[in-house]
Structures are given as structure tokens and as C-alpha cells.
Structure 1
Amino acid sequence: MDSRFYALNTRRFQQRAQVETPDTIYWERLEKPEFMKECNTIDYLDFSPTEPDNFVVTCSVRVQIYNLVTKLVVKNLSRFQKTAYGATFRQDGRLLAAGDEEGHVKLFDTTSRNILRIFKGHKAPVHRTLFTNDKLQLTSFCDDKSVRLWDVSKEKVVQTYNDAHTDYIRAGAMNPVAGNMFVSGGYDGKINLFDTRAENAIQRTLDHGSPVESLLFMPNGSIFISAGGNQVRVWDLISGCRLLTMMAQHHKTVTCLRLGTDGRRLFSGGLDRHVKIYDTTTYKTVHTLTYPNAVVSLAVAGADQAVVAGMVDGLISIRRMIVENKPSNLNQIRVNHASKEKKKKLVKKLLKPNTSQVVDHTIKDRSKATKLQSFDVHLRKFNFKRALDAVLLPRQAEKHPENTVAVITELLQRRALDKALSERPEAFLIQFIDFLCTHLPEVRFMRPLLNAANTILNVFDASSTSYGAKVLEALQRLSDTVQAEIALTFEMLQLKGAMDTIIGVSLSDSDKPKARTVATKGARMQPSKRAEKYVIYVD
């Protein structure tokens, strides 16, 4: 059993600006989010590979292509009888495929908005459709537990893999290098690796441990990543699908994965309202983006120009990268940061006295333990009152309130805050209450300080002594502060509701711009007979 005493972790209460890394500098250049409102959950988002300012949004019975700059609909693909799913661009941006609740896969011309092909055969909703890297075939992943490979030009099924899973198939990914290989993920928690050349197409079956929500291949095709539950797992395809690492940075289900910074950064969005950004060399979290609601879909523009997130309530968040007058290149920021650190080390080395003399032997210095602050020393000796006194000194409480809150949190966890506050003079209690009133409105301190306010009220209730008018005035100030925070919360909720209504009305009534036509090379694909005869029946 480890008997060492560890100092309090006060960094968790520090403001984010106090910890600076090249990635925080880079990603904090994202502008404040701009919001758009749709009528239902945002199922899928995808950026056009040829027109980086356009991205497609799949929501309800509509597939809409938005412009990143104007935030307006460029093209509206509404040829769906029931809910549409997973609209994704082909690699050349000329075609777009989407599944639907009827079990159909529909292929659209992004220039003319015509429906070119309708692939029929599935018996349940198709949630994901992906093109192979040769652009000639299309893969569909369906809730009927099957995966189908389609020929785009002939509108026929090439191969059907029935009973690939024992539950719904909601995730898939195509190998960007080996066009004959792809992976599928199901709600049975399994991941299947397919090779279309082999007689037995399913080469490997892996266990993710939770329903698989998203899959993603790295650009080199040798590593793929799975997301499900609160975990993100990394698999090495070359070494027999060996598990390389596992990240569990989310508190709730991870719903989507994306790559950024030319494949050097991995994004994961989850129901905990966070998007985590990982370094793909170390798979450590380098930054976190926070959103107002659960994130269910994600898209990252080329060169990190924008990060678009779709939420469960139909809200779309667009955050564009600020590039004017500042270098936005992550490598340049990293080089600048490294040069600054190198200069600091050089200065320290020059200031250090030169003791490099020839000696027979060297006595190694005893490693010094981490120096404890005064409140840590008192906590180590269980002197709770002295620990609280040390952090409530006027200079300490004003300059480093995070230390005060850290000690209060530690005392709450040890159930010793009431002991530290009992049998105290009125001046100390007034000082403690004033600290609560000053820092309670800060979001980073709110939860522990509310618990501390409850504790001090319990101390007053349990005490048999009477208190003076000054203490009662301090309690009234605390009550007013709490009531003001409650009133502010209600006002913010009302404002949010009003803004949601205004945004919804403005988007529904906005004039849509004319679609911009793009000249394409080669013969344009013509609609098939089945696509020409397709009719949508409206109840």
C-alpha cells in the first residue's frame, strides 16, 4: 500500500488559458460557433471533396447541400418518401449516395440534382452508404444485418453478405488504399473485416465491446478506428487486426469519428456534448470542443477550414478557422513553440554555474520530493481548520481562488468541511460566506461552492449559539447571490428558446440562392429507367 501523500490537484480549477500548448493555440483560432436549425436530428454530415465550401446535411426526409460562407442551401435533394440516412459524396464530388428508411439506396447528380440510380434489395433501413476507391462500386450497410456491394453503372448488386452481424449494422468504412477491403460495425458489438476477393469474404471478426456507432480508416489504410460506448479503439490491420490502443475520454456514447489536419488529428464526438481531438501519433487528447447539446454527427473541412457538428436537437454548429494576419499552420505553431522552449532551456543552462571538473567519482544528488504547500501540509496532518485558514488569507483567496476551492472540495470529499467550520468566530464565518458570494457565479467553481453553501447552512442549523446581525447579513447576501444565479439561469433558458424560434423562422423563410453549376469533364451519367419512373407519394 502506497503511504505517500500526494498534493492537491489545483489545475482542474484553473482557467484554460493558464495551460498553453501548440494545439490549444491552433484550435482556439476557431471562430465562435454559428448555428443553423433543422427540424430533426442531424444524422450525417459530409464535406464536398471538390468544393470545400459546400457540405451536405442529412436530416429527416431531406438531403441539403449548404454553403459554408453564406450558410444557405445551395441544393435541396428531397426525393425521399421516408427518412434519409448517411448522404456522402463520391471522391470526385460529382455523385452523392444516400440510404433511406424504405431500404433503398439512391444516387444523385450533385450538379443537376437528378436522381440517377435506385438500388433496391434491402428489407430494412440503410443507414450508411460508401463508395469504393475506384468510384465504380457502392457499399450499403443495412439494418437487415446484411452488407451489399452495388455496381454503380449497371444498377445491379455485385455481392450480398447476409447475416454479417446479429444486430443492426450502423457503421462502415472503406479502405482508401485497398479497394477490395472494408469493415462493418454492428450493434452486436462486432467488427467484420471483408475482402471481396476471397471465397470467405469475412476475414476477421473483432469485438469492440459495445454497439459500434462509427468506423474510420487512416489515410495509409493500415489502421482503422472504431467508436462505440464511451470508447474509441485503434486496430492495426497489418499485424492481424491487433488492438493498438483504447481511448475512453468521453463520459457517454461516442457517436462519430472524423480526421483533420491531413490525417494527423482524430476527432470524436459524443452524447456528452464534447468533441475530443487526438494526436494520431500518440493518441493523446490535445484539445476539447464543447457544444450545447449531444453531438451525433461531425465533419471537418479540408485544411481544417471549418468544423461542423450536428446535434440531436437539429442544431448545426459551424466553427470556421481564423486565418487572416496569423499563421494557421499547426506545424508552424509547433516550431515556434519548440524554439521558445529551446531558448528557455539555453538561458537556464547559461545561468547555471560551470562545475565540470575532472573528478574520480560523482555522488548522485538525492531526488527531491514535490514541495508541499502549507495547506497540503495541514491536510496531511488532518488539521482541517488550519488548512482552511491557509487558503482563506486575503491575498491567497484573491490571487489564487482555485487553491481555496480545491481545499474546500477536498474537505467535502473527506466530509470534514463541517468540522472545519464549526466553533469558529463570526469574523471567519463572514469571510467564508463572502468568498462564496464572490466566486459562486464562476462556472468552474459553482458546483463545489454550492455544496459548501449547503454545508455552512447545516453548521448554523446544528449550532446552539446565537449569531449577531453581521452574520445574518452575510447569510442574506449568500441567499441573494444564489437567487440571482437561479434567475439568470431562467433568463438564459428563455433567451435560448426565443433564439431557437427566431432562427427556425428565419431559415424557413429565407430566400434560397440559385444553384451554381460546375462544368464537369467527360460524359454525364444518365438516369436509369427505374430512377425516371420513381414517384414520391404524399399522404
Structure 2
Amino acid sequence: MSTFKKVSTKSLVKSNHEASLDNSYWKNYGIPVLVKEFGPIDYIDFSPLETHRFAVTCSCRVQIYNSITKLATKNLNRFKEVAYGGTFRRDGRLLCTGGSEALIKLFDVDTKNLLRIFSGHTAPVHRTFFTVDEQHIVSFSDDKSSAFWDIPSEKKIISFEDHVDYVRAGHVSPVSPNIYLSGSYDSIVNMYDTRSSKKVLSVNHNGPIESVLFLPSGGIFLSAGGTEIKVWDCITNGRLLAKISQHHKTITCLQVASNGQVIISGSLDRHVKIHDTGSYKTLHTLNYPNSVLSIGISRDDKTIVAGMTDGMMSIRQKEPNAQEKTSINQKMSYKYAGETIHYLHINSCIPEIKRQMEGKHNTCLRKFQYSKAVDCVMLNYITSKSPHLTVSVFQELIRRKGLIQALAGRNGKSLFNVLRFIIRHIGCPRFERVLLHVTSTLIDIYEDQLEDLCSESQHNFKVLQKKLEEEQKLMLSLIQLRGSLEILMSAAETTLFTLQNSCGLKPSTMAQRDFVFSYVK
């Protein structure tokens, strides 16, 4: 016995954005793993060498997490008050952090020993970074200053106090050990060179600065404040290159990934957006359950971690593509009788036969229960989300000559639903031809029974009459417009023919026709 042929449904394809390699690359992150901490996640920093290890600064401690196991492997808790901004050195062996104690602390990551304490600030220190030469630390404090520290001697080399508000953002140059940026709530971003005693560059962001960041080239830097990211050129004395305004709440953090090819921004609007550094267009958006305070990404882009205001931390890892999956099933070997036997394939995949589920309307059509088939596609969630399915059933009933049987004998809610659907969708060009046929059939059936119908059905018939009159007026106006356009086109063709004769041309080719049109212009 052959299987029952389902009703063919037609629907318009949704207009999607143009897919690209960048889109597919950043969409490949798997389901996030959520880890709960005791307070807001202030800062996240990945180890430069061990891409599976990252530091999370939260509450009164800094924890070292393993991105594979999603567990904390080390706990640096030598703090009396809240810790801020824990960052790794380039070799991944040392970690520096600030805090509400107005101190900068230096830790050995492997032994968890406190190696150095730098004191000199008079207010909480929110950000600390190692310089490129790995011999100095730069700190940014709420005492409106930034300081440059020598690690071996534990002394302050120089301090800059040009800001008039809290300094909550900063970054060191990736190419020079003497240059760094400081961003303040006074809307100013200053660039300092420790070889001189004054700032070398200053730009105005026009909003409190939450994060600043150098691109890997060292000649361009970013500033984030309010809902905007601004791109500045260091070489041309701070010329504004671009503005990125994709968030609708305050941007809290910035990161670069893919060797500086993309910019990642996190915001209080619960979104993390990925931007291209070449065109500054948004490539992808990651959604989170709460406002994002910090963001971290591994050097190989395989792990992205976001910290939120409620202490929740989201860890996403990139899923392997087809090539990586084949490399996972590499050859395995074992020894047997002194010989090594290699197997290239260790798994065999058996395709799963998926059973196709038959819709209720198809079941009713198969049993020739036409009235029930119409009732199945008149449910609210179908008529609102999949109206093409309802129209397809009507079209199938017209083909089977069973439309009168399906619509006859209705009253109350069942007839009310059919009329409401027709009124809502009869003006749609996709459904107009089928629904006009259904409307004509309804009028033929209930023409002599209008007085016996319920008040709601009678009202809907009147509304349907007005809807059809409106459609008729619209068609007449379109026909008049078409006639006017035909007159204009006829006059244009006459003018074109006259010009062809005057120029002695016969528009047998497209080149000649284009010449005539250019002559007209």
C-alpha cells in the first residue's frame, strides 16, 4: 500500500543576512556552561601561553579556572577587601592585581605565593597591567592618578595626575614598554611616555571611559564609554577614525581576538558583540541572561568567557568543525604478538531512520473528514504563525471538490474562525486567489441562512463585505494607474522612434539602443 501524500505547503523564505565565513566562524560556539561566583565578575584574563587557563577576579579573591573542566584549580585569596583587575604576565607565571586596599599585589601563579606589594596609591586600584618588557607594572586608581612601578625594586618610578576624576581604565602598549593609556570618568583618554614627565597625547571621548585598548599594531587604540566605541589614531595626534554604536546601554569591557582582526565588546544590555577591525561592522552577537561586566577570550578563539553583575560566569567553547571531527577519529594502535596494528577508523556510523510525523489535518484528509481538516488548521497558533498551511488545506479541498462539504453546516465559533481568517488574509497577494474562491463558496452556502446565524457571524459577514469593497476600490485605482503608465510608455516609445529616424539608427542591437537613450539624456 502506498503512503498517503501530504498536502504541499508553500511559504515565503525569510530574508536572512548574507552569510560569510566570519559569521559562520563566530556562530560555532556551543551551549554555555554557567558558573556561580559570590559577587560581580570584575575582570577576566586568559593566560597568554596556556590557552585553557584563565583568571577570574571576583569579590575578595582571584581564581584560576580550567576551561576544559570548568573548575577552579587555584585560589589567590590574600586580600582583606575587594580585589580588582587580575592580569597575567606574558609568560603566564606571574599575576598582578589591584584592590580596595589601594595596593598592587604580585603573585606566583604556580605556588600562589605573594611576591611583592606595591603601595603608594591613596584610593582603590581598579586596573593593573604588566609592560611588554615584563619588568614593570602600570596601575590605575580612583585617586585620579596612574603609576609606573619597577618590579625588582618594588618602587614607583613615575606617576601622572592629569585626570580630574576616577581612573578606571587603562592599557599598555603592545610594542613599547614605556607607553600606556589611561581612561577616566572625566571623558579624557591620555597617552603617557614614562621617558618624559608629561602626557604625549590626549583625546576627548565625550563620555565616562569604562575601557581602553590598544590594537596589536600599537598605532591605533580604542575607547569605550556610554554606548559608543571610538577608534583613534596615535600617529596622527589622536585623529578619530571611526565610531561603533551597536549597544543601547553602557559598554563595560573591550577585548581583541583573532590576532587583532576582531574587536569584542560587552555591555550592560546583556549582549557581547563581535566587530571586524577592517570595516567595523558587527559580525555576530552573543546574548547573556544578565548585564556583562567583563569578557575574556583565549588566544586561539576556542573559549570565550563572560562575567556578569549577578556573579554568574558563562563559559562557551567552540565546537569542532567537520575537519576537526575527522582528526579526532585518528588512527589508534595497539600491540599484538609483538606487532603494532593500526586502525584508521574506530567508529562506524549507522544512519538513524527518522520517522516522519503526520499532521492532524493530513490524517483527516486521508480519512475524507474535510470539515475536521479545516478545524485542525483554524487553531490560533496555526492561523497566526503558519497561515500558508490553512490556505494549502483550502486549496487541496478545492482540488478535491470537497470545499462545500467542509464549510457547510457551520455556525457559532467554527464559522466565526473561518470568516475571521478570510478577513485577515484576503488582502495578501499570496492567498487572494484561493480565499476569494472560499468566500464565494461561503456566500453561496449561507446566503439564505444569514438571519439564522449568530450575531458574531452576521457581523463578520458585514465586515467581509466592507473588506471586499475596499479591495475592489484598490484594484480600480491600480488599473487607473496602470492605464496612466501605459500612456506615458507609449509617448516615450514614440519619442524614441522619432529620434531613431532623425539619427538614422535602427535599434537592432543593445548598443544602438543605449546610444539613443544617452542622446535623449
Same fold, TM-score > 0.5, yes or no: yes
- 1:173-252 map, 5 Å: 173-199=171-197, 201-252=198-249
* 2:44–2:56 contact (8 Å) kept in structure 1: yes
Aligned ranges for residues 365-514 of structure 1 at < 5 Å?
A: 394-395=387-388, 427-430=418-421, 466-468=455-457
Encode CA deviations 1:492-511: one digit per residue, 9 max, x unaligned.
xxxxxxxxxxxxxxxxxxxx
* Local SS of the residue matching 1:287: strand
Structure 2 vs 1, CA of residues 205 and 227 (structure 1 numbering), >3 Å: closer, same or farther? same
Asked whether the 8 Å contact 2:51–2:300 carries over to 1, the reply is no
1:290 paired residue number? 287
Amino acid at match of 1:429: R
Aligned to 2:43: 44
Q: How far apart are 1:222 and its partner, in Å?
A: 0.4
With over 3 angstroms needed to count, the CA separation of the structure-2 counterparts of 1:88 and 1:434, relative to structure 1, is: farther
Q: TM-score, normalised by structure 2?
A: 0.62
Q: Render the CA deviation track for 1:126-176: whole Å, top value 9, x for unaligned.
A: 0000111111110100000011111101111111112x2111110001111
- 2:149 corresponding residue in structure 1: 150
When residues 297 and 393 of structure 1 are mapped into structure 2, their CA distance, relative to the original with a 3 A threshold, is closer
The alpha carbon displacement at 1:20 in A equals: 2.0
Encode CA deviations 1:236-279: one digit per residue, 9 max, x unaligned: 11111110000100010011101111111110110111111111
Alpha-carbon distance in 1 for matches of 2:242, 2:156: 37
Residue 395 of structure 1: CA displacement?
A: 3.4
Of 295, 299, 303 in structure 2, the residue corresponding to residue 302 of structure 1 is 299
| DSSP 3-state at the match of 1:79 | coil
Instruction: Return closer, same or farther for 1:292/1:469 CA change in 2, 3 Å cut-off.
Output: farther
Match of 2:278 among 281, 284, 293: 281
* CA distance in structure 1 between the partners assigned to 2:262 and 2:306 by the alignment: 16
Verify the 8 A CA contact 1:392 1:432 in the aligned structure 2. Answer: no
Q: How much does 1:15 deviate?
A: 7.6
Give the secondary structure class of the aligned counterpart of 1:310. strand
Residues 264-313 of structure 1: CA deviation (Å, up to 9, x unaligned): 11101101111111111111111111111111100110111111111111
> Is 1:259–1:267's contact at 8 Å kept on the other side of the alignment?
yes
Shift of 1:196: 1.2
Quote the sequence identity (%). Answer: 46
Choose the corresponding residue for 1:168, options 151, 166, 173: 166
The answer for the alignment partner of 2:268 in structure 1 is 271
Task: Provide the secondary structure at the position in 2 that maps to 1:111.
Answer: coil
Counterpart secondary structure, 1:212: coil
Q: Say if 2:259 is the partner of 1:262.
A: yes
Structure 1 residues 286, 115: closer, same or farther in 2, change over 3 A?
same
Query: What residue number does 1:137 align with?
Result: 136
Deviation at 1:432, TM superposition (A): 7.0
Q: Structure 2 vs 1, CA of residues 393 and 90 (structure 1 numbering), >3 Å: closer, same or farther?
A: closer
**Letter matched to residue 104 of structure 2:** V
CA contact (8 A) 1:219 1:263 kept: yes
1:14 CA drift (Å) = 4.5
Q: RMSD of the TM alignment (CA)? A: 2.9
Q: C-alpha displacement at 1:206, in angstroms?
A: 0.9
Letter in 1 for 2:34: F
Correspondence for 1:73: 72
User: Over residues 214-245 of structure 1, what are the superposed CA-to-partner deviations in whole Å (9 max), with x where a residue is unaligned?
Assistant: 11101110000111100000001111111000
**1:42 and 1:155 mapped to 2: Cα distance?**
28
Whichever residue aligns with residue 188 of structure 1, its letter is: D
Shift of 1:323: 2.2
The letter for the 2-side match of 1:187 is: Y
Q: CA deviation at 1:434?
A: 11
Match of 2:63 in 1: 64
Contact 2:202 2:238 (C-alpha < 8 Å) held by counterparts: no
Over 3 Å counting, the alpha-carbon distance change for 1:398 and 1:293 in structure 2 is: farther
Distance in structure 2 (CA, Å) of the matches to 1:432 and 1:102? 70
1:270/1:398 Cα in 2 relative to 1: closer, same or farther (>3 Å)?
Answer: farther
SS at match of 1:26: helix
Q: Distance in 1 between matches of 2:201 and 2:210?
A: 19
1:321 Cα deviation after fit: 1.0
C-alpha contact (below 8 Å) 2:87/2:96 kept by paired residues: yes
Q: In the aligned structure 2, how far is the partner of 1:20 from the partner of 1:84?
A: 42
Q: Check the 8 A contact 1:426/1:467 in 2, yes or no.
A: no
**Helix, strand or coil at the partner of 2:22:** helix
| Conserved 8 A contact 2:228-2:251 | yes
Q: Secondary structure at the match of 1:51?
A: coil
User: Secondary structure of the equivalent of 2:322?
Assistant: coil
Distance 2:228 2:390 in 1: 39
When structure 1 is superposed on structure 2, of 20-29 and 259-268 the one drifting more is 20-29
- Residue identity in the other structure for 2:420: L
Q: What is the deviation of 1:429? A: 2.6
> CA shift at 1:180, angstroms?
1.1
Residues 176-227 of structure 1 show CA distances to partners (whole Å, capped at 9, x for unaligned) of 112211110001111011111124x211221101111111101110000111
Cα 1:394–1:108, aligned 2, differ >3 Å: closer, same or farther? closer
So what's the TM-score if we normalise by structure 1?
A: 0.60
Q: Which residue of 2 aligns with 1:318?
A: 315
Give the CA deviation at 1:22: 1.4
Instruction: Answer yes or no: is the 8 Å Cα contact 1:274–1:288 preserved in 2.
Output: yes
Larger radius of gyration: 2
Q: Structure 2 CA distance, aligned partners of 1:298 and 1:105? A: 22
Q: Helix, strand or coil: the match of 2:323?
A: coil
The letter of the residue matching 2:170 is: G
The 3-state SS of whatever aligns with 2:24 is helix
CA positional deviation for 1:327 = 5.9
Task: Tell me the distance in 2 between the aligned counterparts of 1:235 and 1:245.
Answer: 8
Aligned length: 342
What is the rounded CA distance, in whole Å, between the counterparts of 1:123 and 1:20 in structure 2?
A: 52
Partners of 1:470 and 1:275 in 2: CA distance: 51
Q: Is there any run of 5+ residues in structure 1 with no aligned partner, and where?
A: 1-10, 329-390, 400-424, 436-464, 472-539
Greater relative contact order structure (CA < 8 Å, 6+ sep): 1
> Map of 1:25-44 to 2, 5 A cutoff?
25-44=24-43
Output the CA distance in 2 between the equivalents of 1:62 and 1:398: 62
Task: Please list every run of 5 or more consecutive structure 2 residues that lacks an aligned counterpart in the other structure.
Answer: 1-11, 326-383, 393-415, 427-453, 461-521
Q: Which amino acid aligns with 1:257?
A: L
> For the structure 1 residues 74 and 392, does the alpha-carbon distance in structure 2 shift closer, same or farther, using more than 3 Å as the test?
closer
